[in-house]
Structure 1
Amino acid sequence: MIDQASIKIISGDGGNGCISGRREKYVPKGGPDGGDGGGGGSIIFKSDANINTLRYFQYLKKFVAESGTPGKPGLKHGSDGKDLEITVPVGTIISTKLANSDKRQVLAEFTSHDQTSVLCKGGKGGRGNTKFVNSINQFPLLAESGEHGINLSVFLELRLLADVGIIGSPNAGKSSLLTFLSNASPKVADYPFTTLEPVLGVVEHLSKS
């Protein structure tokens, strides 16, 4: 059985660095104290053996991680954006289309439970003006902008290999048999073509040695 979906994933932008000067009583020129911006959140895929379909991605097509916040005065570092974790079934292959080509490059393949892969790393936070002090310029009015996140369109393909396939005439009781033998719960009714898509059921076999 093959299940497919196309989605867009975007990692978070890094926060901008801060331009600021320290202000203290009796210290007219306190020097720079602008903090660095926080890093953007990454897009992380994680496999789960308890799900067996990509149906979720028929309704959600765009996933965006949180951006980092700007640096602040007082050498305060901006907050890092939260990573966004996307759960996929074991057996999922993620690829992207190569530029000026019909070919695809495989980015990740999930073959076991709880496997993770970072596909879009968040942008780095920009440096505050304290990082640009030198012997000539003791109070730089300069800070870096945060890096932009990565924008990527990916193709998800789920490949499930079944040991046994149930084939029969319409309304012959295939779904009822699958429900009885496994943990699957296909729709069952007294009219033909109730089940329009393949349904996967799992049966554990304990062999005696």
Structure 2
Amino acid sequence: MKAFYFLVAILALASSVAFAYDPSPLQDFCVAINDTKTGGLGPADTSNPLGSTVTAVTVNNLFGLNTLGISLARIDYAPGGLNPPHFHPRASEILVVLEGTLYVGFVGSNGNNCDNPLFAKVLHKGDVFVFPIGLIHFQLNVGHGDAVAIAGLGSQNPGVVTIANATFGSKPDISPEVLTKAFQLNGDIIKYLQKTFWL
């Protein structure tokens, strides 16, 4: 009788494991017939307050990425240009520096005695860095000239949440009372930040 219960337990465990993975795509790949949009990655204008521009190639502008679980982005940086703190809710990212020198990093999660550790490094041409899924990360051009990087992301639609935009540029505004307590800032500063134009 014990052997029977053991067998039932093993079968129950095996059946639950069989369903504990991401489902396969509905098709092997998607040929984007009549796709008039291209996923070009040419140089971009960086004359904006951040001094950087991200050119994304996702399933939204290159339909052939449908079901493949990947996307790309080219990031152009003027000297001092910043790709501000942000995260991707659906993808990890691998960054390759093509030109220039970047200070990059991500912040680990809080809890489990971690206290939000910063993992950061200065990268040069040819260097690679990985940003885990869902963690806040950034890149800053610390070189004297322009910089360019290519990012590969593990989703056809990785999404992006830029921290400053989401926090101070939400529509409608987050209550200043919430932000004043969260950031331990004067309410006038919070109201100023909420009126600022966020890229």
Q: Which has the higher strand share?
A: 2
TM-score (norm 1): 0.25
Q: Which has the higher helix share?
A: 2
TM-score (norm 2): 0.25
Higher-Rg member (1/2): 1
Where relative contact order (Cα < 8 A, 6+ residues apart) is larger, the structure is: 1
